[in-house]
Every structure is written in structure tokens, then in C-alpha cells.
Amino acid sequence: MKTLYLRFVATTIFIMLLSGLIAFLLSNLYYQIKLKPYNNEKITRMAKNVTSFYQAHSEVDLHQYLNSVADLGYQIALTDGHKKLMTFGNPFSGTTLAPAAIDRVLRGQTYYGIAQYPKQIFVTGFFDDELSNTIGVPIDIKGKRHALFIRPDIEYLFGEMRVFFAVLVALTIGLSVTFVFAGTHYIVKPIRILTRATKIVARGKYNLSLNVDREDEIGQLARHFTHMAQSLQRLDEMRQEFVSNVSHEIQSPLASIQGFSKTLQSEEIPPAQQKHYLSIIEKESHRLSLLSKQLLTLASLDKEAGALEKTTFDLADQIKQVVFMMEWQWRKKDLAIEMELPETFIQADPKLLHQVWINLLTNSIKFTERGGTITIKIDKSRKKEIAVMVQDTGIGIPEQDLLRIFDRFYKVDKARERNDHGSGLGLAIVYKIIEAHQGSIEVASQENKGTTFTIRLPQM
């Protein structure tokens, strides 16, 4: 029984059988506690009515009278304690009765056999047509004391109903099992579809369409699986693009280094041109070094996003240090730096946030025209977070590129034109660092008007 389908069917049938057994036992218990005493009293009244009528009408033929009563749905036995037991109606399945019980009735007492009938677990005593399962009352016949025993004839009263209920139970069980198989197939079918889908995804095919139109948990699972497959497809595409971009970014400087190195070795080149070629080799080497550092930083953030070395420090003071450290870059382009940085203590990783401000300020300087302005502000108006805004009056970012600027190696076309040496990893690193600090980063930009980055970090 390895399949979920068979397990579900077997479990459901087992529950049905177990429930039926428990229900039967509880019903039997209810009969023993409630119905059995009531049935005992009811048949006792009937037995006494039978004897009272005969005592009042002794001229009636006793055998004919008892046969008439038996025809109404009763089993009757009559004895004087010496002669053979006489029965009226359908015969008893067992005529064994303790002599003490007969003697007690002959002495004028009532025999409560129904109430005293032994309790059984699986079969209620109501259906046992034993002589001991009767009500016994005394009756005087022609001056001689006899014992009259009586009980309902269940076979006569409920014969057709027993067949009816037997057919009903059989049909109920049969149809229930059939519907369990059909219903289980309906329930398990989407799981089988998902199983086949997992095999397809395992082969690297993510373009799936699961036709599971259900609103229950299985339907939700199917939709979540589809979304997961789409996410895996995007992740795989990003991985392939990442490998392609890394190869391209490494190949380009390596080709330059290799080409100029061969040129320097094979030809007699004037010293000025040699110096120029060597400076290119140095720049390309620096580019490779920077690329490797950025890749290592990203790998570290991916692997240990939660391993931050947090300390408490003044964020405003840190940003000012970054601005002063890069002074020669923004002064070279005659850029104006406006700062609104109130004292702001924060608990974070200072080394990683230092990298954030360097990357953002480098981009602002790079893509802002000569004579432009860069504004840096800290907003502490919200209780649970602080906001740092880095705004420039640069060339801006096209709207279609805004959603992808944090992707690794993604470069806006204008950025390519302005700077061929960018790796496209700077903003990806910024995003990962802010994400590791449980913060968020937003960007707003208009072409030829400027760009604003807003970083939100949790307060202490």
C-alpha cells in the first residue's frame, strides 16, 4: 500500500468500520441503560393484562385465547411446573429456564427475565428469543396455579424491517466504499499532477501549466507550486545571465591586458606609448580586482546575510566621512554637495553601510553633469525607522529600467555610454546590504532631471 490513493481509501474505510463498531457498542449500552428497563416494564404490563383478562373471563378457551394473543406478535409459554411446557406462537430458540424461576412465579411472584438477562457486548438482548428472556407472571387455570411467560416476537414484528435494514446497511456500505474510491480519486488527482510536475521541474523545465481549478488547500498548493516553478525559471535565467555577464566582464579586461602585453613584447614602441599601454593594463587590472572584490562581497552577503557585526554609531558622522573621502571626485566635476545630517545613532554593521554610501555617492557623482548638485538628507520623523535620501540632478534613469537596476550586472544604456568600466554590481550590493539590515531601498527618477535613492533602516 504505497500510493496515497490506496492509503486514503483504506484509512477512510477503516474509519467507517471503526465508527460503525463504536456506534453499535454505544447503542447497545444505551439499550442496556435506558431501553431495557422500559421494555421490561412494558412487557410486564402486557403480561399482567393478559392474565387479568383471563381471570375475569375464565369461560374463554385458554388455548384459543393464548393463540390469539400470540398472533398479535408475542411468544408465550405456559407450565404448571410438572407437565411439559406448552408454547404459543413461534417457538423459542431456547427453552432452558431455571426451576427456581418457575417456582418463584408459581408462588405468586413476577419473573423479570428481560431486566435480568445477561448483558452482551455485540448483540442486544432485545433480539434473543430465549425463554429466560421473558416476563413470567402467575395465572390460575381452573383453580390450579400456572406460570405464564411472554415476550414480543421480534421475528414476527420486525421480520420485513430487518430485511429492509439489512439491505439498507449493505447498500450504504457498498455505495460508501464506491464513493470513497471516486472521491479519493478526485482529491488525489491534483497531487498526481503535482508529482508529475515535480519530475518535469527536476529535469530543468519550468514552464508549467497546472490545470487545478480548486479553492481548497490542494488548489492553493498547486498555485504556489506554479509560482515556485516560475521563480525557479527566473532564478535559472538570472544564473545563466550572471555566468554570461561574469564571463563577459572578465573576458574584456583580460583581452585588453593580453593584447597590450603582446604588443609591448613584440614591437619597439616609443616610451610615451609604452607608458600609455601600461596605464591601460593597470586600469584593466584594477577593474578585475574591483570585480573580484564585488563578487566576493555578494557571495558573502548571499551566504551569511544574517551574520552582521552590529555596533552603535553615528550614521550622520559616517556619511560625512564618506563625502569628505570622495571630495576630490565631486570637486573635479564642480559638483555642489548639500547635506542635512542631524546626529543619528543607529545599530548596524558600519563596514557594510560604509560600502552603501560609497556606492550610491559614486553613482551620483558619475552620472551628474558638471556643475550639478547632490543632496544627502537624514529623516528621523518616523518613530520606528530612519530614512536616508541621496538625491542628484544627473541624467536620470529611464522608467523601463527602474525595476531592474538592482539586478546583478544590469546596466542602463545611458550608463554604458557614460562609463564603460562599470560592473553593474554596485546597486546589487547596496540592495543586499540593506536587505540584510531588515531595511528597504526605493528609487525615483526622471530622465534629465535626476535620481533619488531612499534607504529606510529600523531605529534602535
Higher pLDDT, 453 or 258: 453
Per-residue pLDDT, 289? 78
DSSP readout, 327-369? HHHHHHTT-EEEEE----EEEE-HHHHHHHHHHHHHHHHHTS-
Instruction: Identify whether the C-beta of residue 147 lies closer than 8 Å to the C-beta of residue 78.
Output: yes
Beta strands 336-340; 450-458: pairing state:
unpaired
Can you say how many angstroms the Cα of residue 192 is from the centroid of all Cα atoms in its chain?
17
Quick one: pLDDT band at residue 15, thresholds 50, 70, 90?
confident
Three cell numbers at 173? 456500505
Give the rounded percent of residues in the chain with a pLDDT score beyond 90: 20
Three cell numbers at 436? 540584510
| pLDDT exceeds 80 at position 204 | no
Per-residue pLDDT, 161? 66
Q: Label residue 89 left, alpha or beta by phi (over 0 means left) and psi (-120 to 50 means alpha).
A: left
Rounded Cα distance between 156 and 277, Å, is 117
Three cell numbers at 206? 519550468
Question: What is the Rg, in whole angstroms, of the alpha carbon atoms belonging to the chain?
Answer: 48
Per-residue pLDDT, 410? 66
Instruction: Identify whether the C-beta of residue 455 lies closer than 8 Å to the C-beta of residue 356.
Output: yes
- 218-238 confidence digits (pLDDT tens): 777 777 877 788 777 777 776
Instruction: Identify whether the C-beta of residue 376 lies closer than 8 Å to the C-beta of residue 341.
Output: yes
| pLDDT exceeds 60 at position 122 | no
CATH superfamily of 311-458: Histidine kinase-like ATPase, C-terminal domain (3.30.565.10)
Per-domain residue ranges of the chain? 4-160, 258-303, 311-458
Quick one: pLDDT band at residue 418, thresholds 50, 70, 90?
very low
Which CATH number is associated with domain 4-160? Answer: 3.30.450
Per-residue pLDDT, 425? 76
Per-residue pLDDT, 35? 80
- 341-391 confidence digits (pLDDT tens): 999 999 998 888 988 898 899 889 989 999 999 999 999 888 889 999 999
